[in-house]
Amino acid sequence: MVEILVAIVGIILTILFGIYTIIKMKKKDPKVELFFSKNDSLVLVSQTSNELGLEINYNGEKITNPIILLDANLKNTGTIDIDRSMILQPLTIVFPQEYNCLKATVLSAPENSSIEISIFNKHKISLSWDLLKKKESLELEIIVEQVDKIPDEISPLLRFYEKIKLESRITNLRNIKKGDFKSILTMYYNQKAYYWFLIFLFYFIMGVSIIVIPIPKVSYDLLYVLEYNNTYSKEKILLVDKQSLILKNSYNNEKKHMSIHDFNKEYSIKNIAITKEDNSHYYLFKIVGILMTIISFYWFKKIFSNLKFLKSSKQKVYSQ
């Protein structure tokens, strides 16, 4: 019974260790990746402002078109640092033709870093840096003017952000991922849910395996009370063949191999004792299995909560 349980545990641990090793190996592969996300966006000046007769000026000029402020974040989500030597062409943020960029500012950056940002052609922002280590990020504030009227079939803020394009030539960078803050949370929770699922699977399989393995029936052994040199001991007699046997001591499990002839000559049987095998530890295994199964549902609950979060996040994005 114990041997079977140990074998099952070994197989499960081997499978989980193999999966973990593959994940770690994939993580070690060099990956150049940037993630552009929207922290927040809002309309500073709307069409309603103009209808109310409010006069708004920017750099000494009257503003009559809607103005949008975008708070964005650029993060190095890869596994290696991106330095200036890898940037063959600065990162370019391209806006739709119906929007003119008025201002672009770096709100926050890694300490002692050198960041260059500039606007050209009214529709593009050029961004470069000396070093952006993995997991480091830049926070940008961008102000744009909507110069052309846009149909109101979709939220203007969402439409503006979705039409932003990102261009660059950075060594080994295939593309720049774009999302919003919810996308970052989605990525985070997806990764967590993956590990939660492995933990759930381990506890559930282990718990169920321990529960379903039957408890062996109680076995009884015959112990012979033997006299040898005026001393008594309880021994189990194991027959090897027609000529020899093994005496197994009931206290220290010491084994003694001898011929049947010598046994009959040296030993005499005084009594027979019946012993019952203690299988209480099997019930302890069952309790452990039940506890592991219960714990597995805690991890399943975390996965379910994660799925609910992702579903609600998608609904919020579509409703914007």
Q: Judge if 230 and 134 occupy the same domain.
A: no
Q: Judge if 62 and 148 occupy the same domain.
A: yes
pLDDT for the residue 310? 56
Establish how many alpha carbons lie within 13 A of residue 226's alpha carbon, considering only the half-sphere containing its beta carbon: 20
Q: Judge if 20 and 101 occupy the same domain.
A: no
- Give the separation between CA 151 and CA 148, rounded to whole angstroms: 10
Reading the chain (320 residues) residue by residue, the pLDDT tens digits are 455 555 666 666 666 666 666 666 655 667 888 989 888 777 777 666 555 666 677 777 777 788 888 899 999 988 889 999 999 999 999 998 888 898 999 999 999 899 999 998 888 999 999 999 988 999 999 999 888 766 554 456 667 788 889 998 999 887 788 876 555 556 656 667 777 777 888 888 888 877 887 777 766 677 888 888 888 888 888 888 888 888 888 777 788 888 988 888 888 888 887 777 666 667 777 888 888 888 888 877 777 776 665 555 444 433 33
DSSP-derived pairing of the beta strands 61-63 and 99-108: unpaired
- State the DSSP string of the chain: -HHHHHHHHHHHHHHHHHHHHHHHHHHHS--EEEEEEEEEEEEEE-HHHHHTT--EEETTEEE-S-EEEEEEEEEE-SSS-EEGGGEEEEEEEE--TTEEEEEEEEEE--TT--EEEEEETTTEEEEEESEE-TT-EEEEEEEEEE-S---TTS-HHHHHHHT-EEEEEETTEEEEEEEEHHHHHHHHHHHHHHHHHHHHHHHHHHHHHHHHSPPPPP-EEEEEEEEETTEEEEEEEEE-SSSEEEEEETTT--EEEEEHHHHHHH-EEEEEEEEE---HHHHHHHHHHHHHHHHHHHHHHHHHHHHHHHHHHHHHHHH-
- Give the separation between CA 286 and CA 215, rounded to whole angstroms: 9
Q: Judge if 8 and 49 occupy the same domain.
A: no
The CATH number for 75's domain is 2.60.40
If one counts the domains in the chain, the total is: 3
Q: Judge if 192 and 309 occupy the same domain.
A: yes
Q: Judge if 62 and 196 occupy the same domain.
A: no
- Give the separation between CA 77 and CA 134, rounded to whole angstroms: 6
Q: Judge if 236 and 299 occupy the same domain.
A: no
DSSP state of 216: P
Q: Which residues have CB under 8 Å from 105's CB, separation 6+? A: 117, 140, 141, 142
Q: Is residue 272 situated within a structural domain? A: no
Q: Is residue 140 situated within a structural domain? A: yes
Q: Judge if 46 and 158 occupy the same domain.
A: yes
pLDDT for the residue 211? 81
**Global pTM value:** 0.52
Q: Judge if 88 and 128 occupy the same domain.
A: yes
Domain interval for residue 160: 32-171
Q: Judge if 184 and 318 occupy the same domain.
A: yes
Q: Judge if 8 and 42 occupy the same domain.
A: no
Q: Judge if 196 and 301 occupy the same domain.
A: yes
- Give the separation between CA 143 and CA 61, rounded to whole angstroms: 15
